[in-house]
Structure 1
Amino acid sequence: MSNAYIALADGRVLEARARAPGRTRGELVFTTAYTGYEESLTDPSYAEQVLTFSYPLIGNYGVRSERFESDSVQPRAAIARELTDDVAEWLATEDVPAVDHVDTREIVTSVREEGAMACGIVAGEDVTPEDAVAEMEACKPMSDHTDIGAQVSVSEPTVHEGGGEADIALVDCGAKGSIISSLTERGADVHVFPYDVTPEQVADVDPDVLFVSNGPGDPENFVAAQAVVDAFAGELPIAGICLGQQIVASALGGTTEKMSFGHRGVNQPVQDLRTDRVVMTTQNHGYTVADTGPLEVTQVNVNDDTVEGLDSEELDVITRQYHPEANPGPHDSLSFFDDVLALADDRQPIAAN
């Protein structure tokens, strides 16, 4: 096998085994999920990041496209203790560098102690540690990726029919496919709009609910999505997941902040403050809501008290920081999508301008 090197912002360069060749850079993060590598590797929320798997063996049940959350691999590169040939060949076909035979425990510990950091990876023939360092030094902070929405969003509006029970206007900031299917399976028609959609385009379909999806990067860079939320707040029910929660909170007067290493995995405990019930959730985010503005905190993370759920009866808003659709992960919170459809049932006509 050919050489590979991983350069970290803390000054270390780790040697690894190349499984899929290439040179790239990104923010180094990790997921604690034991399964679901196909879903994780196709999750648009990993755009511009280098994904490390903490579970040691990745690929032990093959690669099946029906599990994909998008049309392509989304992280800039993948790191594992051991990658099977199936996964390595898939990543090579996608031109995504992949390495293994590295101590992923050391990488995960470094990210937990020092936070998500810039990373450079080179894999293949004739690569050097200096090549990896050069890639790392060219890595931009996530907040500097101001156009990241364009990388993961649809370019033109599309419609996914589910039976006409409700019309959902979904702002695609990097939506997982299972979010859309969770809505269509409940009878909703989902009108998917690009991340830079205008309020006028949304109004043209006269939706019952405005839904802001998950996605990568800094929520403050999704200015158009915030403008859409602001335009319809108080007139149209609004829902959001992950980045969507952050965008909704920001649009309504709240603030967000970057976390040290984020939440990425399928075993994050979330407590509902109204019922005291704790459910296990799937998460993938590096930012969180700091100031909730007019929205009520209804759910928190048991581990660190970060905001996991926001509601407003007055504004007809319901958002979740975690992924109720899971894929991979527990299905404890699938009822969120029933709550979204209930918002549609209660919808009042949009006031005339």
Structure 2
Amino acid sequence: MTPAYVALESGHVLEGRGRAPGTARGELVFTTAYTGYEESLTDPSYEEQVLTFSYPLIGNYGVRDERFESDRVHPRAVLARELTDDVADWLAEEGVPAVDHLDTRDVVTDVREGGAMKCGIAVGEHATPDDARAELERCVAMSDHTEIGEQVSVSEPAVYGAENDGPTVALIDCGVKGSIVDSLVDRDATVHVLPHDTTPAEVEAIDPDVLFVSNGPGDPKNYDEAVSLVREFVDDTPVAGICLGQQIVARALGGTTEKMAFGHRGVNQPVLDLESGRVVMTTQNHGYTVADPGDHLEVSQVNVNDDTPEGLDGTEYDVLTRQYHPEANPGPEDTLDFFDDVLEMAPSRSRRPRAIPADD
């Protein structure tokens, strides 16, 4: 059996079976999803993290690239109770260390009790616990990854659905999942996918009907350019956002964000719509949340488990955001109508000249 070690910030060193060799470090998180492992592993929101699957067997229906959400695996390493050979071989080809034969119940309990924590991974014939500890010592906090947007965003603009006749969407790519773009294109939108640090002039040249801020990894405080874009356009262009995008929009409109203890990750997060009283099941992947939406946004949906904001609506602007992933890849399809609601904002935009508060 190939040696494999996981050194945790709590001081524990776990020993498991090495399935894909290498060393790695990152923020240790877990997902409760029992399907959709291909989508989860290719979700850019897992950049700089070590992903633990709480479900005991991962890989029981193989690996198919048509399910991928991006062009690579994003977690720095993967932990599981058991990985099938298909998944282990895929991770090895991607150069992503993988460890199984772990008691993932204990790992999840540690994260739930101690919060998301730094960890170091060492896998290989000559790996030692000290190798894992050395990786842990080099690990930095998620908020210190100030350039994380560059790691996951497109470097050049791209256009999808150019032949469509519907609204034009300027999508700010902070780590967008492919199925989010597909969800808009399938509804007849033309989607311009733009780098996370796109300038106002570049967006203005597109003259979009909707400005859309995507999901992505890391601390929303490290996406100043995206925050500035929202503030620049919100008074005359409808604005939408998913996950990190909700947090960026909130910060642009005077709200605040904060890091959660261990975040929401999985396909079974219940969300309550405050107006209708309806509860839907959602897919989520985030470690930060909106602490205070400010004066220009109101909370329209909340997480049933902890009351954190799951949806924000503009009180004076055309703004619609969701903290969860409504594109449902993986996950339930309860919230696909979000994309219809976003595109319905396009024809009704009107200018509302109002000063937007700067960050404190």
**TM-score range relative to shorter protein:** over 0.9
* Gap regions ≥5 residues in structure 1: none
- The separation in 1 between residues aligned to 2:25 and 2:214, in whole angstroms, is 26
Match of 2:329 in 1: 327
- Correspondence list, 1:214-233, <5 A: 214-233=215-234
8 Å CA contact retained: 1:97, 1:123: yes
- The separation in 2 between residues aligned to 1:64 and 1:98, in whole angstroms, is 19
Deviation at 1:349, TM superposition (A): 7.2
* Gap regions ≥5 residues in structure 2: 354-360
- Correspondence list, 1:35-114, <5 A: 35-114=35-114
Match of 2:128 in 1: 128
8 Å CA contact retained: 1:236, 1:350: no
Structure 1 residue aligned with 2:318, among 316, 324, 335?
316
- The separation in 2 between residues aligned to 1:336 and 1:114, in whole angstroms, is 34
TM-score (norm 2): 0.96
SS in structure 1 of the partner of residue 135 of structure 2: helix
SS in structure 1 of the partner of residue 230 of structure 2: helix
8 Å CA contact retained: 1:32, 1:264: yes
Asked if 1:161 corresponds to 2:161, the answer is yes
1:79-131: CA deviation from partner (whole Å, max 9, x where unpaired) = 00000000000000000000100100000000000000001000011111011
- The separation in 1 between residues aligned to 2:321 and 2:64, in whole angstroms, is 31
Match of 1:273 in 2: 274
Asked if 1:263 corresponds to 2:264, the answer is yes
Aligned length: 351
- The separation in 1 between residues aligned to 2:336 and 2:205, in whole angstroms, is 29
- The separation in 1 between residues aligned to 2:152 and 2:165, in whole angstroms, is 27
- The separation in 1 between residues aligned to 2:258 and 2:305, in whole angstroms, is 18
Deviation at 1:326, TM superposition (A): 1.4
Aligned-pair RMSD on alpha carbons? 1.0
Paired letter, 1:158? A
Asked if 1:300 corresponds to 2:302, the answer is yes
Match of 1:171 in 2: 172
SS in structure 2 of the partner of residue 262 of structure 1: strand
Match of 1:23 in 2: 23
8 Å CA contact retained: 1:167, 1:208: yes
- The separation in 2 between residues aligned to 1:281 and 1:22, in whole angstroms, is 34
- The separation in 1 between residues aligned to 2:51 and 2:177, in whole angstroms, is 17
- Correspondence list, 1:247-262, <5 A: 247-262=248-263
1:34-82: CA deviation from partner (whole Å, max 9, x where unpaired) = 1000000000000000000000000000000000000000000000000
Paired letter, 2:16? A
SS in structure 2 of the partner of residue 338 of structure 1: helix
- The separation in 1 between residues aligned to 2:307 and 2:54, in whole angstroms, is 23
Structure 1 residue runs of 4+, over 4 Å off? Answer: none
Deviation at 1:345, TM superposition (A): 2.2
Asked if 1:115 corresponds to 2:92, the answer is no
